[in-house]
Amino acid sequence: MNVAITPTMIGQVIISGLLAGALYSMVALGLALIYGVMRVINIAHGTLLMLGAYTTFWWFRLLGINPYLSLLVALPLMFLLGMLLQRTLVTRVVDAPELSSLLLTFGISIALVNVAQLAFTSDVRSVEFLTGAFLVGPFALSKSRLVSFAFAVVITVLAFWFLQKTKLGKAIRATSQSSEVAMVCGINVQRIHLYAFGIASALAAAGGSLVAVIVAIQPEMGTVYTFKSFLVIVLGGAGNYPGALLGGMLLGLVEQLSSLFLTTQVSEAVAYVLLVLVLLLRPTGLLGGRAR
């Protein structure tokens, strides 16, 4: 561990942090949407990400086409699955105490993970695509990470454009500010919940498709992303959508920077210490959000 840390290494770490952070931001935006609109903490978020990753894997394995094109399948598929989950199950715990939604979404998660295990086995899979790295000056940029980063940025920008400019997006933001007032304004809150869960699931699936070319794919892979997404929305402030972006980038940077000094395992713990500190010292998130 006693390697001298050079400016190049720090630069490299910052680049890796930003590349990873954009993916975290995108995935966490989904979780933030669900929490913002319904006050539900969705433990199954990472599970939907896992299903997205498997979609990409099978697409690539069976069809042999560019895995990034599988986004065109994974997103609509998970959008529909998300709406189905919302319509049948999650809608029943929207106004219940948090224990109900935590347990319910955990139940969904464990059922889906084990269905995936039955269907796909627990073998570790990977998508071999765009291996290798670009060398830019002293920095090595992994090709697959770079392309996934670009896709994540585009999808996140689209999601924000949707939230800011379209009528449905505005209705979603209105509902997350106050569902009563939204209802009084003639917004069909039930439908907003449905769309929000669908969009959130699609964002998780996009995350899955994009990490499929980077990390190993297996049924349990989602848990880590669920936790990281919590962390991101706590950092950014719950119900604060731009905060999710900042939080994701910050998480990516903190993880990479701490892995420079500590082992990868502990860098995960650093992230959680950060979580607890932020919860205690600035409970409304770094950008401010709803009071707790």
Partner 1 sequence: MRWAILAALPIGLLLLALYPMVATGYGIQFMLQLFMWVALAQSWNLISGLTGYVSFGHVAFFGTGAYGAAILVSKHAWHWVPASLMGGVAAVVLALIIGYPCLRLKGPYFAIAMLGLNEVMRVLVSYFEGLTGGGSGLSLPTLHASRQVYYGMGLAALAITGVAHILITSRVGLRFMTIREDEIAAEAMGINTARYKLFAFLLSAFVPGVVGGLYARDQGYIEPISVFPLLTTVTMIVMALFGGKGTIWGPVLGAVTLFIFQELVWARFLYLHQVLFGAIIVVVVLLMPKGILGILQERYRLPRWV
Closest alpha carbon to 177 in 26, 39, 27: 39
Q: Does 96 contact partner 1 by CB under 8 A?
A: yes
Tell me the closest approach of the beta carbon of residue 288 to partner 1, in angstroms: 15
Region from 11-19, 102-110, 157-165, 206-214 binding partner 1, contact rule CB under 8 A: 102-110
Angle between helices 98-120 and 45-58 (to 10 degrees): 20
What own/partner pairs with CB < 8 Å and gap ≥ 24 does 94-97 have? 94/38, 94/39, 94/40, 94/193
Q: Is 149 helix (H, G, I), strand (E, B) or coil?
A: helix
- Closer residue to partner 1 in complex, CB, 37/275: 275
Closest alpha carbon to 129 in 209, 191, 50, 206: 209
Span 184-223, contacts to partner 1 by CB under 8 A:
223
Burial class for 276, CB neighbours closer than 10 Å (0-12, 13-18, 19+): exposed
Q: Does 113 contact partner 1 by CB under 8 A?
A: yes
Binding to partner 1 by CB under 8 A, coded x per residue (else -) over 125-144, reads --------------------
- Closer residue to partner 1 in complex, CB, 119/135: 119
- Cα 165 from chain centroid (whole Å): 22
Q: Does 268 contact partner 1 by CB under 8 A?
A: yes
Q: Does 287 contact partner 1 by CB under 8 A?
A: no
Q: Which of 134, 161, 261, 272 binds partner 1 (CB under 8 A)?
A: 272
**247, 286 Cβ separation under 8 angstroms:** yes
- Closer residue to partner 1 in complex, CB, 110/140: 110
Q: Does 284 contact partner 1 by CB under 8 A?
A: no
Q: Which of 109, 175, 240, 256 binds partner 1 (CB under 8 A)?
A: 109
Two tokens at 83? 């709406």
Q: What is the DSSP string of 167-204?
A: HHHHHHHHHHH-HHHHHHTT--HHHHHHHHHHHHHHHH
Q: Does 167 contact partner 1 by CB under 8 A?
A: no
Burial class for 220, CB neighbours closer than 10 Å (0-12, 13-18, 19+): middle
Span 14-73, contacts to partner 1 by CB under 8 A:
39, 41
- Closer residue to partner 1 in complex, CB, 71/271: 271
Q: Does 263 contact partner 1 by CB under 8 A?
A: yes
Region from 13-21, 89-97, 178-186, 241-249 binding partner 1, contact rule CB under 8 A: 89-97
E-strand ranges in the chain read 133-136, 139-142
Q: Which of 59, 149, 151, 230 binds partner 1 (CB under 8 A)?
A: 230
